[in-house]
Amino acid sequence: MERQKENLCRYHPHGQMWVSSQGFSADWMQQFLEVVRQENTKQWLDGIVFGPGSRLSGEAMRRALPPSYPICCYPDITHSMECQYPVPDWDVAYALTEGREVINPRPQDEANILRRSLPGTVGFIAYSEGCNDDVNKFVWSALGWDSKRPVIDMLRDFTHYFLGTQETQGFAQGLLHLESSWQGPLATNSGVEITLERFRDMERSCSPAVLRNWRFQQALYRAYFDAFIRRRLLDETAHVQQARGVLERMLAIGWGAVPLRIWGAPASTPPNGLSPGPLLAEAQAILEETVTRPVAADLRTRIEELGATLFQSIRMQIAVERYDAEAIHRAANLDTLDTPVSDTMWMCRQIMEIRKMDGPIIRADAYQIPSNLSR
């Protein structure tokens, strides 16, 4: 870096050299701190960048560095998990289906991160992977000027500028509701359905220009997606519980109630003359209904339509084959829309394996109520 700084200034006399410790190992970090504490380093190093993947927090970095070095904040505003600022306690159903680079307006979270991160720095350059974090960009830009400004005021200005007067209040509140849809257990978050209805109301009443606006399309996509995943979660959970009820009827007829070795029956003879085969088949059929009779088909159709609309309006790549996304984990959540969000498929596989076993006694023993079918 020292050599490159000399080369840089040969052509750009006012050029500066800043360094990030992103991805440093413990040994590298120690060496890095030793280098920046040397007096001659100040001749070529102009400042430090603090971003995701740093071994030290921003506060610890400030304490560890000589006060003469400015720190520029490089916040990750674009990812929702496996990142610098993941969504707190994100429901697993969302993590499995919406993914790391989903459309992620988080106005309140980003405001809190900004207010904690900026003291002791000289400002920030937000780290973005595309347009999925559009709202977060504006939160940082607006609150970077005035960190005490109410978030809702900033969202109203954002909406008024891009969507017009009519949608100012409703869409600004809608963005806050989308953030609330990600808070707490999804199964009990009834606000997800309320959020969808608010956006559906706007969808029915807004102008054609707003319907064509990609910022509105993004928020609408998220509202439908969240509600669809919640309905799938509730449906799958109900089927899992129903299937468990069928399987636990084996207890009522003696299966698994006592150790097999003291039943006193030949290995091929089930207790009470009954077989677990029909119960296993019934439970499997119940579980497979989540695939053969899927829930909320209307929401799924609308999500597909909005995915196509976003590709047409801004070439948003939310599917690998159809819209040329780089990979499923790179925002292609149309490809994970139907990912199981419960134990449904796991239970199906376990039951299918048990049904392949020879003899009813062996199949019942493999079941081992309730441990084998509880994660």
Six token digits for residue 57? 């927090």
CA distance 33 to 217: 46
Nearest-CA neighbor of 245 among 304, 287, 294? 287
CA distance 278 to 55: 56
CA distance 115 to 110: 9
179 compared with 257, residue with greater pLDDT? 179
Other beta carbons within 10 angstroms of residue 113's beta carbon come to 20
Q: Which residues pair with 20 in a beta bridge?
A: 49
Residue 303's φ and ψ, nearest 5 degrees, are -60, -45
> Helix or strand or coil: residue 343?
coil
| pLDDT over 90 at 174, yes or no | yes
Other beta carbons within 10 angstroms of residue 88's beta carbon come to 9
CA distance 349 to 351: 5
| pLDDT tens column, 313-352 | 999 999 999 999 999 988 899 999 999 999 999 999 888 8
* Region of poorest pLDDT, from 176-185, 267-276, 281-290: 267-276
Q: Where does the pLDDT of residue 272 fall: very low under 50, low under 70, confident under 90, or very high at 90 and above?
A: low
Average pLDDT over residues 133-141: 97
125 compared with 361, residue with greater pLDDT? 125
Q: What is the pLDDT of residue 238?
A: 96
Contacts of 318 (CB under 8 A, 6+ apart): 307, 310, 311, 325, 331, 332, 333, 334
Question: Can you give the pTM of this predicted structure?
Answer: 0.88
Pairing of strands 71-73, 18-20: unpaired
**DSSP H or E run through 116:** helix 107-117
174 touches 219 (CB < 8 A)? yes
Nearest-CA neighbor of 46 among 70, 14, 67? 70
Residue with tokens 């119940």: 286
- Give CB contacts under 8 A, 24+ apart, made by 98-101: 98/225, 98/226, 98/229, 98/333, 98/336, 99/328, 99/329, 99/331, 99/332, 99/333, 99/336, 100/329, 100/330, 100/331, 101/129, 101/130, 101/132, 101/329, 101/330, 101/331
**So where are the chain's domains?**
248-373
| pLDDT tens column, 178-232 | 999 999 999 999 999 999 999 999 999 999 999 999 999 999 999 999 999 999 9
CA distance 96 to 178: 18
Q: Which residues pair with 124 in a beta bridge?
A: 73
Where does residue 298 fall: left (phi above 0), alpha (psi -120 to 50 degrees), or beta otherwise?
alpha
Burial 168-180 (b: 16+ CB within 10 A, else e): bebbbbbbbbbbe
Six token digits for residue 219? 């928020």
Q: Where does the pLDDT of residue 266 fall: very low under 50, low under 70, confident under 90, or very high at 90 and above?
A: very low
